[in-house]
């Protein structure tokens, strides 16, 4: 039989090397693509990107067919989909109960979570790269069709803050994944946080004076919007740092503690 080696072979394997983090990251990346749901979720990044490009060419006024318009249009669906990818990569271990094997292949749960976060970030950065490339094609094609001049109005610095903005979206998903460890609960909470909460904050700020000045510090989506629109002042960075600490770092730290302790059943 092939699976059972003799004593000699066993003795040879006295020192088994630790699993390197790079290997865990590559396995976690693979796990994001290898189910039908995962595959289509990631494919939807490309599909919505193409639609966004076409829609921009078709519907945007000719004079605004600039690179920034395209990059923004293609990047928007990603801000919605990337957090879902990050969230599901974590929660599926509990919802699908595959954590039972994942955590026995690698009992150090902190490394599993780290690998999952790194692989989500890899997907995000790669898809942002594609978005910028698709945006460039859209800009050239769009301006050609409209007969306007090609405008490259996105600085490298601004591009980087857009990537950063997307990463904060993504990490919201990671945070919720650790905190809730449930796919359904995580997705619902994510949409409450991103869709409902900003509206509530807006309402509160317009009716309550005390909240008006507080809002920039506690409203993550407001603080993040300056990353997408372009960071201009130190205040904007300060607002962002506080909001990220409040909505991502703190709950993520609490969530990680839960992940470390939670029983995997």
Partner 1 sequence: MITIENLSKTYGGTSVVRDISFKARPGRVTGFLGPNGAGKSTSMRMMVGLTTPTSGTATINERRFVDLPNPGREVGVMLDASAQHAGRTGRETLTIAQRMMGIPASRVAELLELVSLTATEADRRVGNYSLGMRQRLGIAAALIGDPQVLILDEPANGLDPAGIRWMRDLLRDYADHGGTVLLSSHLLNEIEIIADDIVMIGQGRIVCQGSKTELLQAAGTVVRSPDSERLHRALVAAGIAATESGDGAFRTGAGITEVGRAAHKAGVLLTELRASDSGGLEDMFLELTADTQRERTAA
In angstroms, give the least distance from the CB of 205 to partner 1. Answer: 43
From the CB of 100, what's the least distance to partner 1, in Å? 4
Using the 8-state DSSP alphabet, how is residue 13 labeled? Answer: T
Smallest distance from partner 1 to CB 126, Å: 20
Residue whose C-alpha is closest to residue 142's, from 72, 49, 77, 54:
54
Which C-beta is closer to partner 1: that of 106 or that of 242? 106
What's the CA gap between 256 and 262, in Å, rounded? 10
Q: Rounded CA gap, 141 and 213, in Å? A: 44
Residue 65 phi, psi dihedral angles, 5° rounding = -80, 60
Q: Which is nearer to partner 1, 232 or 261 (CB)?
A: 261
Query: What residue ranges bind partner 1 (CB under 8 A)?
Result: 1-7, 10, 13, 16-19, 23-24, 26-27, 30-31, 34-38, 92, 96-101, 103-108, 261, 263-265
Whole-number Cα distances in Å, 58 to 54, 136, 171, 243: 6, 16, 33, 37
Q: Which is nearer to partner 1, 41 or 248 (CB)?
A: 41
Alpha-carbon dihedral angle through residues 49, 54, 59, 64, given to the nearest 10 degrees: 70
Q: Which is nearer to partner 1, 106 or 130 (CB)?
A: 106
Residues 228 and 67: beta-carbon distance below 8 Å? no
| Residue placing its CB nearer to partner 1 in the complex, 209 or 263 | 263
Concatenate the DSSP letters of all residues of 161-175 into one string: HHHHHHHHHHHHHHH
Could you tell me the smallest distance in angstroms from the CB atom of residue 124 to partner 1? 22
Pick between residue 32 and residue 222 the one whose CB is nearest to partner 1. Answer: 32
Q: Least separation, in Å, of the C-beta of 122 and partner 1? A: 16
Q: How far is the CB of 20 from partner 1 (least distance, A)?
A: 8
**Rounded to the nearest 5°, which phi and psi values hold at 258?**
-65, -45
């Amino acid at each position: 039989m092939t699976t059972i080696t003799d004593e000699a072979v066993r003795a040879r394997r006295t020192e088994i090397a630790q699993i390197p983090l790079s290997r865990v990251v590559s396995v976690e990346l693979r796990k994001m693509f290898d189910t039908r749901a995962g595959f289509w979720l990631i494919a939807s990044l490309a599909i919505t990107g193409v639609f966004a490009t076409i829609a921009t060419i078709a519907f945007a006024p000719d004079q605004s067919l600039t690179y920034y318009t395209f990059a923004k249009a293609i990047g928007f669906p990603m801000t919605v989909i990337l957090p879902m990818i990050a969230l599901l990569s974590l929660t599926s271990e509990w919802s699908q109960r595959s954590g039972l094997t994942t955590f026995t292949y690698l009992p150090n749960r902190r490394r599993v979570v780290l690998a999952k976060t790194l692989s989500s970030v890899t997907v995000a950065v790669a898809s942002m790269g594609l978005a910028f490339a698709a945006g460039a094609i859209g800009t050239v094609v769009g301006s050609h069709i409209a007969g306007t001049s090609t405008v490259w109005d996105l600085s490298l610095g601004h591009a980087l803050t857009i990537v950063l903005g997307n990463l904060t979206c993504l990490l919201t998903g990671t945070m919720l994944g650790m905190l809730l460890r449930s796919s359904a609960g995580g997705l619902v909470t994510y949409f409450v946080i991103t869709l409902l909460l900003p509206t509530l904050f807006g309402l509160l700020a317009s009716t309550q004076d005390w909240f008006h000045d507080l809002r920039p510090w506690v409203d993550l989506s407001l603080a993040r919007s300056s990353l997408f629109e372009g960071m201009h002042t130190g205040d904007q960075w300060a607002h962002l740092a506080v909001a990220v600490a409040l909505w991502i770092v703190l709950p993520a730290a609490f969530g990680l503690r839960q992940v470390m302790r939670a029983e995997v059943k």
